[in-house]
């Protein structure tokens, strides 16, 4: 509805002034983004809240208004990655015409988001650093994404668009390549995130596509 803020909180449309809740959410997202960048650059264990506060130009005390500690920030980074995965699965499921297309569309959307989001890229390689309750939730959501991708590969094998293979091994190989991206990809490097994503997807497609589907667009 017009003139309605986040979560339905009404505010005067004529002023366009963000509510306090909206301002807080913007700052929280900026904090998670900067934390992800720091974790990606220095590593989770080597990064302190002081480092993140300095990058944002605020005091460490200011960060405690939004998070308890850097472990909560890591959890928030993982949530970004999991949300990307959920959106990618939904996109692939809704837009693909066969198993191969559903898998490829899912991977395209996920990889581009994964590369462009510093918070997401920083998260996956540090899953063991999460607190137990957070790790259990993230592992459950990660497994749900893997299962969705495997199901698309199974569908592709059944409809002839994917070469017969073990969907579990195929998914492990694909996600292993994606999860390694933060180790070597640099946003300021010679290749853009979109270019890297296109090349990775090309390799995935060539590995999955059946002989019968070669020559047809994925």
Q: Is the pLDDT of residue 54 over 60?
A: yes
Provide the pLDDT for residue 74: 92
**CA–CA distances in Å: residue 173 to residues 60, 95, 103:** 40, 24, 14
Q: Which residue has the higher pLDDT, 190 or 99?
A: 99
* Second-level CATH architecture of 75-213: Orthogonal Bundle (1.10)
A 10 A CB-CB count for 190 gives 6
Low-confidence winner among 16-20, 119-123, 176-180 (lowest mean pLDDT): 119-123
Q: Distance between CA 109 and CA 142 in Å, rounded? A: 16
Q: Is the pLDDT of residue 148 over 80?
A: yes
Domain ranges of the chain: 75-213
| pLDDT tens, residue by residue, 162-218 | 999 999 999 999 998 888 887 777 777 788 777 888 888 899 999 898 876 665 554
């Amino acid at each position: 509805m017009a003139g309605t803020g986040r979560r339905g909180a009404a505010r005067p449309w004529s002023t366009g002034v963000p509510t306090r809740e909206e301002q807080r959410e913007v700052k929280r997202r900026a904090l998670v983004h900067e934390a992800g960048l720091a974790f990606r650059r220095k590593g989770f264990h080597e990064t302190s809240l002081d480092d993140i506060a300095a990058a944002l130009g605020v005091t460490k005390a200011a960060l405690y208004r939004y998070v308890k500690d850097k472990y909560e920030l890591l959890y928030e980074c993982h949530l970004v990655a999991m949300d990307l995965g959920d959106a990618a699965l939904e996109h692939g499921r809704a837009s693909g015409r066969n198993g191969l297309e559903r898998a490829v569309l899912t991977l395209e959307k996920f990889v581009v988001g994964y590369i462009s989001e510093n918070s997401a890229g920083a998260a996956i390689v540090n899953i063991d650093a999460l607190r137990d309750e957070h790790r259990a939730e993230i592992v459950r959501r990660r497994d749900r994404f893997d299962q969705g991708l495997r199901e698309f590969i199974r569908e592709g094998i059944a409809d002839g668009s994917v070469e017969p293979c073990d969907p579990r091994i195929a998914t492990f190989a694909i996600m292993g390549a994606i999860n390694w991206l933060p180790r070597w990809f640099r946003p300021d490097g010679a290749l853009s995130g979109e270019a890297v994503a296109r090349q990775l997807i090309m390799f995935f497609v060539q590995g999955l596509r059946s002989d019968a589907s070669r020559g047809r667009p994925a």
